């Protein structure tokens, strides 16, 4: 049985990873009176480390440093999923790890994730696992064209993916995956991409932020719109799929599930993230409790808060492309608007397609929020 004793301030909460998700979690935790320790393989002064009480900087296989980190904390969570398994095992052996090893291990690898979805009867696109060119050819014959080949591990934001269409040279396609296993998925002719972000507590209770509509540019999230422009039946399917994933993983913490909506109104799970998610950032400004507030409550064994949106909103993802020639944008266009909220992640070096921050735009309804968001995008020279 899990330890149900709540973890209260001023306990120190441990985070594996030093990026912006850890940063926003640390801000929420410190606001509530907790201390925060970050463990990251990034240099000193990581986005999360800038606002934490303690920052441990070293490789994830540095067991001596990891134990020193664990000496300081009462519970451990993660801010990205690609933490080496041995690091997670050491953490879970000494402290509550929330979400647990099984959930992170399953969702950090596409093959394990897809097989988990299939084994639990959770709707997703038909797929095959392949390890060589012959396997790719057999998968294409089975699934039909078009289809998508994705590396089984360490792919995100469209990286490690290749679409296969009529006329594609399968030998050339496989050359990009040689020596690695891959997931081949049947192409989903979706009309909309959505996500559900919420949390499951130690006692199994749930809280979600509703259904989020996501628009991507170059395979990277561009806008998140709340409420999603989908019907009640689609929303019910999405919420049910999120719950099915959370319960099948026996999950504790904030969880994001990305989904496709087909023209016929069918909802399919695309990817699962065992952590807060880019599409949930709107919740900081537009919900009664944010995804980081839910993460905090869940991992500390506390009751979950009401996560409902109180305003319509559009979240604008800010990539390094917004920094012209590396220079700081003129943020007056954002900060002078009473309905806009700017969040920067403390990254010193903007690069094309690197996530540098986000803006949340609020409105009385979604059309108003979307109109305001498009105006801000134009003022920043964004497409």
Please state at what angle helix 63-72 crosses helix 85-94, rounded to 10 degrees. Answer: 40
Tally of CA atoms within 13 A in the half-sphere of 54 that contains its CB = 20
Per-residue HEC secondary structure of 60-88 comes to CCCHHHHHHHHHHCCEEEECCCCCCHHHH
Residue 1: pLDDT over 50: no
Tell me the two tokens of residue 237. 């399917």
Residue 321: pLDDT over 80: yes
Cα–Cα dist 43/115, whole Å = 36
Question: What predicted TM-score, i.e. pTM, was given to this entire model?
Answer: 0.96
Angle at 277 between CA 276 and CA 278, to 5 degrees: 140
Tens digit of each residue's pLDDT (9 = 90 or more) over 44-81: 999 999 999 999 999 999 999 999 999 999 999 999 99
Tens digit of each residue's pLDDT (9 = 90 or more) over 90-128: 999 999 999 999 999 999 999 999 999 999 999 999 999
Tens digit of each residue's pLDDT (9 = 90 or more) over 27-51: 999 999 999 999 999 999 999 999 9
pLDDT band of residue 150 (cuts 50, 70, 90) is very high
Domains of the chain: 12-97 (3.40.50.20), 126-186 (3.30.1490.20), 190-379 (3.30.470.20)
pLDDT band of residue 158 (cuts 50, 70, 90) is low
- Name the residue among 58, 20, 23, 55 with its Cα closest to residue 37: 55
Task: Report, as an integer, the average pLDDT of 238-245.
Answer: 98
């Amino acid at each position: 049985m899990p330890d149900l004793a709540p973890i209260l301030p001023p306990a120190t909460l441990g985070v594996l990873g030093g990026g912006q998700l850890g940063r926003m979690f640390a801000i929420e935790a410190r606001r509530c009176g907790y201390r925060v320790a970050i463990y990251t393989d990034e240099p000193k002064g990581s986005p999360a480390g800038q606002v934490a009480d303690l920052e441990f900087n070293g490789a994830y296989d540095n067991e001596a440093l990891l134990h020193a980190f664990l000496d300081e904390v009462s519970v451990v969570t993660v801010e990205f999923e690609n933490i080496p398994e041995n690091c997670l095992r050491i953490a879970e052996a000494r402290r509550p790890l929330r979400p647990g090893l099984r959930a992170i291990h399953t969702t950090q690898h596409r093959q394990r994730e897809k097989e988990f979805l299939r084994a639990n009867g959770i709707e997703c696109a038909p797929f095959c696992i392949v390890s060589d060119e012959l396997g790719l050819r057999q998968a294409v014959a089975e699934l039909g064209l078009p289809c998508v080949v994705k590396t089984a591990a360490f792919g995100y934001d469209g990286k490690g993916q290749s679409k296969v269409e009529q006329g594609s040279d399968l030998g050339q396609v496989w050359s990009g995956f040689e020596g690695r296993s891959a997931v081949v998925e049947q192409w989903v002719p979706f009309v909309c991409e959505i996500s559900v972000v919420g949390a499951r507590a130690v006692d199994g209770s749930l809280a979600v932020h509703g259904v989020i509509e996501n628009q991507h540019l170059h395979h990277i999230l561009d806008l998140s719109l709340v409420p999603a422009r989908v019907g009640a039946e689609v929303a019910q399917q999405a919420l049910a799929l999120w719950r099915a994933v959370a319960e099948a993983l026996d999950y504790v913490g904030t969880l994001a599930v990305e989904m496709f909506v087909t023209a016929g109104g069918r909802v399919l799970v695309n990817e699962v993230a065992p952590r807060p998610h880019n599409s949930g950032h709107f919740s900081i400004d537009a919900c009664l409790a944010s995804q980081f507030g839910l993460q905090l409550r869940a991992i500390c064994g506390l009751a979950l808060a009401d996560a409902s949106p109180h305003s319509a909103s559009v979240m604008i993802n800010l990539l390094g492309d917004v920094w012209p020639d590396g220079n700081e944008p003129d943020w007056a266009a954002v900060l002078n608007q009473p309905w806009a909220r700017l969040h920067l992640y403390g990254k010193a070096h903007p690069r094309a397609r690197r996530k540098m921050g986000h803006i949340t735009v609020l409105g009385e309804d979604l059309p108003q929020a979307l109109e305001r968001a498009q105006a801000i995008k134009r003022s920043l020279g964004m497409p």
